[in-house]
Amino acid sequence: MEANRVRQILIAGLLLGTLLLAFFPVDPQMSTEVIFDDEVSQLRKSDGIGTESSESLVLRITHDDGGGLMHPISRVQELLSIEKEALNGDNPDTAWHTDVTTLDRIQSPFTLWEEAFASRNRSLAEAGGWNDVLQPELEEGWCGMNATDEESFAFEATLLLLPNEADLGVACPSMPGQYPHQPPISNELLWMVWIGNNQSNTNWSELEVWANQLSESTNFTFEGVGVNMLFAKSKTLAESELKGVMLPLAILLVSALCIGLRDPLVAVVTLGSATLVVGAEMGIMSMFGYTFSVIDGIAVPIIMGVAVDGAFWYCRSSHDVEKVRKMLFVAMLTTIAAVSLALFSPLRAQRSLALVMVIGIFLDWLITRYVLEDFYMSRKKVETSLPITGDVLSKPVFTALWPALLLLLAGIAFIAPSGVDVLDIHQFLPEDDQELAELRQLQDEYILASSTDVWILVDAKGDSSEEYRNLLSFQERLRHHPSIISLDTGVSQTKLMIGIPDSRDSNATLDQVLTASSLDSLMVKDPRLQADGETYAVVLVVYLDGQNTDAALAFNDDVQTLLSDMNVSGDIGGNLVVGAESAHSFEKSRMTQIFGAGLAVFFVAFYVLRSPEKALRIAVGTVVVGAAVDGMASMFGGRGVGSAPAVLLGMGFAADYLSHSSSSDHAPTSNDHAARWWAAFTSMCVFILIAFTKFPPSSETGRLLTLSIFFSVLLATSLSMYQIHSEEEE
């Protein structure tokens, strides 16, 4: 009666959890925020009073006739009008199209040009021609020593939002070939757009929908471009791939289970229970507000693959029910022990995937043990099971197979190249994707696309004149760093850096200066961070070469050293810097993580089996498989965000299969080998299918896990024979 009640409770829980998906649907995200942690970006979004609370996206704009955007001046005024209409929502043809997300801000070069001319009492919006705003001439233009703040911001925007080959004209007449009586000239430009209003589940693809709406209703073509839009595309690709693979996956699993188990009913029930486990887990976690990444979708086929083990061991092996219970319990604990090490990874995506995996693996075991066990045993067919005799086990080929395989796998790890790829968009789209080629073209044409913004948070009290002066001193030393992009105007070199304005008043405080300042930069309106209305820090923004990872790492180290030397507390953020540092940290810790997982597996196995020899064999095999999979990842194209979780998942499978072998107390039989190999074959079928998808993390994980299962089942088979032979000798 008690067993029936537990079974009913578990089934009801699974069904209820799955039904929750109707009310709390899963909306997996794909952005740098779900891949790694950037504390500076999180703080500036939560506490910034002038920094944006949402990510910036980029629109490229051209005229429908392919001509210039600055001549006649009416085209500039038309784009200014479109921008204002979009923000005000006055015109339904140009207004933001959905209430699900919000349009927070648009930053175009023309808006800052208008403010630059207004600082000289000239109006771009009301001008009948360019002479109305360019005469009398501004000899120094917007990059001169006497330029107003608004003109400096306009110069900055012109450099970043117009192509590199554009004529700068009045933006910087001191540069060769540029004249103050001409406006900047280009056939295209960029808008920076902020959407989301600090929503963690912002759908960046909404920008593309709005861009199409603007293109249809105006004389201009709007196109979403840049890295963030490619992340949106990678999300769409991953979701479509996952949906597209589910039906073939189900057919493949049912077919493999039917052939291996020779019982279609068991196959359907096993697959159905695995589907309920996945649905219930997603529904319950979504109800509690958990943000899934697209990478977490890799866990779905893995959880379903793990679920088949119980069916084969209960229905096909020669073990009785108590022995199978112990084997599956040990396998569950050691697998979770291996995977759980990823919960301490420097990569947020790896921690998230590990959490989903741990919960799924535990639920798989729980349902197999307390819901399906009686059903499996009732469907078990009594078959002749031939034990493998001691004579066979004594043959040199079998006694040497276990250590030989260990040495072979260790050799793979030893010869594999070192290094970890930096986390970027190239790891989330196929190499031959056309839009990656377009991104490279964009990076060649625009400083904004080829550079990367780095945010430096410096602690400084808003009411302290001393800390304000220290901040200015830090900023001045930082400005001379060679990694910051520098533009030669012909008269001076301008560093692409958004800093804090200087004040001649020695008693001025940070709050006083910034409150009186008209700072309205491209990226920052007000750099202060505040808590309870009091300023506690500011953010400085610099631009680095977005293609130079080594320079980003060196810059990060130099800034940390400068903060320490000047006795200033702070931190550094930004996609390239944090991504490079995360990859660097993972490179340093990956072997420690592998050995740590092996150590965790040893202690768990020893606690359950009470045998240090068996626990050590499981742990050693698990570590060797992890190291080999890590080496294969490097050989396949480089360690990255896709290979990082695959290594620990591979170790989880190794711990699973090795635990089956080590927890056995009799000579292996033909049925035992059939159960082990059919379970492995069924799981490998799943990952072979995943390996042919186009989403790189999925395909890479599929390849690596196929190999890890193959390595694991080979080791487990050799261990089962080696172990019995060793015990017979003892």
- Please name every residue paired with 167 in a beta bridge, in sequence order, or none if there are none: 185
Distance CA 358, CA 729 (A): 38
Closest by CA position to 356, among listed 450, 309, 291: 291
Backbone angles phi and psi of 537, in degrees to 5:
-165, 170
Longest dimension (CA), the chain: 104
Determine the length of the chain: 730
Distance CA 170, CA 580 (A): 38
Alpha carbon 576 to its chain's center: 13
Is residue 423 within 8 A of residue 640, CB to CB? The reply is: yes
pLDDT of residue 488: 60
Is residue 466 classed exposed, middle or buried when 0-12, 13-18 and 19+ CB atoms within 10 A define those classes?
Answer: exposed
Domain formed by 448-578, architecture: 2-Layer Sandwich (3.30)
- 257-296: buried (b, 16+ CB within 10 Å) or exposed (e) per residue? beebbebeebbebbbebbbbbbbbbbbbbbeeebbbbbbb
pLDDT of residue 387: 54
Which residues contact residue 472 at a Cβ distance below 8 angstroms, ignoring those fewer than 6 apart?
500, 502
Using the 8-state DSSP alphabet, how is residue 347 labeled? Answer: B
Is residue 720 within 8 A of residue 405, CB to CB? The reply is: no
**Cα dihedral angle (424, 425, 426, 427), rounded to 10 degrees?**
70
Q: Which residues of the chain have pLDDT under 50?
A: 198-201, 386, 389-394, 727-730
| Domain layout of the chain by residue ranges | 448-578
For every residue of 43-108, which 3-state class applies, written as one string?
HHHHHECCCCCCCEEEEEEEECCCCCCCCCHHHHHHHHHHHHHHHHCCCCCCCCCCCCCCEEEEEC
Alpha carbon 157 to its chain's center: 29
- Tens of pLDDT, residue by residue over 407-432, are 988 888 888 777 666 666 667 778 77
Closest by CA position to 211, among listed 224, 202, 192: 224
Using the 8-state DSSP alphabet, how is residue 394 labeled? Answer: T
Separation in Å, CA 701 to CA 425, 433, 579, 708, 709: 17, 20, 20, 10, 12
Taking only Cα atoms into account, the Rg of the chain, rounded to an integer number of angstroms, comes to 31
Which residues contact residue 713 at a Cβ distance below 8 angstroms, ignoring those fewer than 6 apart?
657, 676, 677, 680
Which residues contact residue 247 at a Cβ distance below 8 angstroms, ignoring those fewer than 6 apart?
none
Is residue 646 within 8 A of residue 345, CB to CB? The reply is: no
Assigned token pair, 469: 């002066």
Cα angle: 618, vertex 260, 369; to 5 degrees: 55
Three-state SS at 192: strand
Is residue 130 within 8 A of residue 121, CB to CB? The reply is: no
pLDDT of residue 390: 46
Assigned token pair, 715: 């080791």
